[in-house]
Structure 1
């Protein structure tokens, strides 16, 4: 069977930007450039690997070989692990792109949350409520959806039940807007409060909860890039997780 040629993604990766600022800033920029280039190039091969198990299964079926038992298990494992690697590369790309290739502008929080919720697949048992009317922030037009999506999906992904509630709220405080995303899940032990913002960090095995461990690391990087912050708060009512993010305010109505 003739296979279509694998898409090797002909998009040209951007060249490293000219040196700016102090040595620490340039070193950070160089690391982001390196992450971008590696993730971009490696993902082309990973996308090919994602197709191979399906091709193998199709060829076996055409040859009259039933795909079951240990063979089916092996193909499923290939799918799972290559899918996991692809998600990790996507999240690394998002991490490296913070603040880049986008316009910093005044964005409405409520509109941004509603757009994110339309694009996300919220499980049937979960409800996301938000109270953000009239608040705007100055941030990159791609970074805000990335931040909000990571916070909401984190509350769903790490929930201990098939049903749950996520609350997104915000209020103006001086020249900042304070966003809080809280859930009613199992919460995080206090000793892990700082660790959860580290890149490639998960508190549960990936066989239990799929994820790259980059979500909250990207949230903190976005917040600090725009002069804000991200931290874990004590959950209301003594249960669940509550993440607070501070971003520069634009204007209030």
Structure 2
């Protein structure tokens, strides 16, 4: 049977918490016992030394009297003393007989013995020495209190382990619930998008944590994907509509060329118009290719430092003669710092905007091309004095195949501003259209990038 990730995470958390708790309690238990034992030994060894001094000063009877006083002292209820002569007969102390397993001078011992004030055996930790005249002295402590403390410590450790288990269970459940609820949000959103709802986004809870930052990043990615899918869908639908008319006209012209009874003049006219339709189709596909390149976000290695002042000046000089034929004056104003960009596509942006402006600008008017330097980038503003755009159309004007001439009787396929928008996005910028009455202002914002 396979456990899901949440269960495995909870079990791992409980196991880790239990191991840490047991380790800490084990260290506390061992350390406490070592400290108590060292303290007991220090006290007993100090008493052995003191009683040995009493023996040297007062003799055996004086030592016995000192032991009796200590046995009777209320402050030494856990103290163990036993003084015997060379034959093993008890002289003083609170033990009935000398333990047969204890050899004087044998060091620290722990055993169960019967005290004179009790009928039951009690655990004792003691040290014994041999005095002059072969008398023997045993000094120790009743270890019942320590064993009781050990039992309490073990019981407390058990309760602490149970509490740690319950606490880790609750904590890990809450944490995994929080984590997996965020993962579930991402998974549910992904499943919804797979089902076709590209407008769905991952909820951002406003906590500012890693999951929120991930959600924001993924939502930006989903927004970009939705935009590309919508553009693809729009392009596909528009292609089926926009190519039908030129292809139909092309077929008509080719049919004229194939007519045996057609006059040569009609053949020449049909051939010329067929070539015009082919050129139109080639321009459409060329624009689509440029848009695809821009949408694909060309690698930064294709970027270079671009002097936008010079680029705008070149574009104005290129299209100025076209405007002069109708009395339209092109003016380039403003300056800006260089940016890191794709020179050819940026020139194409200027060309597309100026071609649109010249197409709709009235005779004897002015088209202003302004460069505005901004923090982190620049803005290209092109203002004409034409009729502008309907407000409803402005919202969709930068989408592919959007044109003010639904009949497609005028030249152009509605791809110019779409390419401008794609190149702007490639340069981390955007396009804004605004009616200025009269005229239209096209603003293209571009990031400066790494110069």
TM-score, length basis structure 2: 0.39
- Answer yes or no: is the 8 Å Cα contact 2:379–2:445 preserved in 1: yes
Residue 301 of structure 2 is aligned to residue 100 of structure 1 = no
Residue 358 of structure 2 is aligned to residue 156 of structure 1 = yes
Q: CA RMSD in A?
A: 3.7
Q: Distance in 2 between matches of 1:173 and 1:111?
A: 18
Quote how far apart the aligned CAs of 1:144 are: 1.1
Q: Distance in 1 between matches of 2:370 and 2:354?
A: 12
TM-score, length basis structure 1: 0.67
Q: 1:150 to 1:246 in 2, by over 3 A?
A: same
Structure 1 portions without partners, runs of 5+: 1-20, 36-49
Q: SS of 2:397's equivalent?
A: helix
Quote how far apart the aligned CAs of 1:214 are: 0.9
Q: Distance in 2 between matches of 1:142 and 1:91?
A: 13
Q: How does 1:1-253 map to 2 (within 5 A)?
A: 67-69=264-266, 71-98=267-294, 99-100=297-298, 103-120=302-319, 122-123=322-323, 124-125=325-326, 126-159=328-361, 161-205=362-406, 207-235=408-436, 238-249=437-448
Q: Which has the higher helix share?
A: 2
Q: Distance in 1 between matches of 2:379 and 2:332?
A: 13
Quote how far apart the aligned CAs of 1:134 are: 4.2
- Answer yes or no: is the 8 Å Cα contact 1:91–1:212 preserved in 2: no
Quote how far apart the aligned CAs of 1:75 are: 3.4
Structure 2 portions without partners, runs of 5+: 1-216, 236-249
Q: Distance in 1 between matches of 2:277 and 2:366?
A: 30
Q: Distance in 2 between matches of 1:115 and 1:104?
A: 19
Q: Distance in 2 between matches of 1:197 and 1:241?
A: 14
Q: SS of 1:100's equivalent?
A: coil
Q: Tell me which structure has the larger Cα radius of gyration.
A: 2
Query: Higher relative contact order by CA 8 Å / sep ≥ 6: 1 or 2?
Result: 1
Quote how far apart the aligned CAs of 1:176 are: 2.4
Quote how far apart the aligned CAs of 1:66 are: 5.0
Quote how far apart the aligned CAs of 1:168 are: 0.7
Q: 1:114 to 1:173 in 2, by over 3 A?
A: closer
Quote how far apart the aligned CAs of 1:106 are: 2.4
